Homo-oligomer: A and B are copies of this chain.
Amino acid sequence: MNSFVYDIPTKVYFGENQLGNLGKELKKFGSKVLLTYGGGSIKKIGLYDKVVKEIKEAGLELFELSGIEPNPRIDSVREGIAICKKEKIDVLLAVGGGSTIDATKFMAAGAFVEHDPWDFFVNDAPITQALPIVSILTLSATGSEMDTGGVISNPETQDKLGRQGRPMLPAVSFLDPTTTYTVSPYQTACGSSDIMSHILEVYFNLNQDLYMLDCFMEGLMKTVIKYAPIAMKNPTNYEARANLMWASSWAINGFIRGGKQQAWSCHPIEHEISAIYDITHGLGLAILTPRWMEYCLNEKTVSKYVQFGINVFGINSTLPPMEIAKESIERLNDFFFNQLELKSTFTELNIDDSNFELMAKKACDEGVIEGFIPLNESDIKKIYEMCL
């Protein structure tokens, strides 16, 4: 069991009618606010007007950057950095889903450096400072509202790369489940798949660590499995939206990891797909994850599948281990493709094998992904092929 440092000081206002606290929280950081958002859905649901009202009433100066893409691009980051520098922004307010918050994180970090922000991804440029970030979440998925990382796409190079940086942890996040009422069943499904994957990437681990955290991960997975279908069928079910929202934060804020050391597997493998084909990240993960589990199953790894099958899906514990393991993968398939109604193959998304070699190479650019089991280029290509 490894030692670790737990340090997640993000303050969260959870629930309805918390926006009255926005002004006072922003003010702690200064007077010039850069509001960042995506395609305008926050205007449709009336959130934009409420946010602007709070900012104005607090006497703060408002700047805006809209149009941040799903799978946000490095150009948006560059644009945000230019505004931060020119206007001497004090605090960034990201309103949206993970894409908006991710992009905003690198604007906050980029405001302190002279080099191009893509250097954070390809040249390991250090992230030692960032402007303070406040977020208002409108999609339960990436957990960016309470973690230190983000993923940015570069269409020129067909790269989609992640980077962590402690200074980019949001200082304050507002999580109002009602802001996710208008999220479509499809996007709810993709977000839930993303949350599930964040947990599975940590849970499927052969290193002994805190049992307590395994229990918590199982609880998080049961929560997603229970409430994602409810939220899809009944988009204004507060209970379902609230559970998914708080689960999204805790799936990835670092708490469940404890002292576990392990690279993630499905995320980097998926990023190569959405970098080229621009599909929704959660959809790619849903297709990949059960195949990855199937690929990794063997006599050495089976015990983790057994634990998963019994504790998350309630599979009969008296069955032979390998049977429980296979049944657990079946149940996960059922969740992704029947309950969440997601497409189950690359073929249905018009993705063929023409880029698999390149994608597999890029997914393990250091030769091997040291995850649940080590995966090299050839392993990853096989997993892609299983998804056809």
Contacts and interface: CB of A to CB of B under 8 A. Distances in A.
Interface of A: 1-9, 11-18, 208, 210-216, 218-220, 222-223, 226-227, 238-239, 242-243, 246-247, 250, 258-259
B15 A246 contact: no
A174 B143 CA distance: 27
B1 A5 contact: no
Nearest to A223: B212
Contacts of A11: 5-7, 9
A37 to B, nearest CB: 23
Contact of A7 (B12, B214, B219): B12
B7 A14 contact: no
- How many copies altogether? 2
Nearest to A259: B15
A227 B215 contact: no
Contact of A215 (B6, B14, B16, B218): B218
A212 B220 contact: yes
Given A7-B12, A222-B215, A223-B215, A1 B208 contact: no
A244 to B, nearest CB: 9
Contacts of A216: 215-216, 219
Contact of A210 (B4, B5, B243): B243
6 contacts: A4-B14, A5-B14, A6-B12, A14-B258, A215-B219, A218-B219
A363 to B, nearest CB: 32
Contact of A12 (B2, B5, B219): B5
Contact of A15 (B3, B12, B213, B247): B3
Contact of A1 (B17, B213, B242, B259): B242
A17 B211 CA distance: 21
A4 B15 contact: yes
B226 A219 contact: no
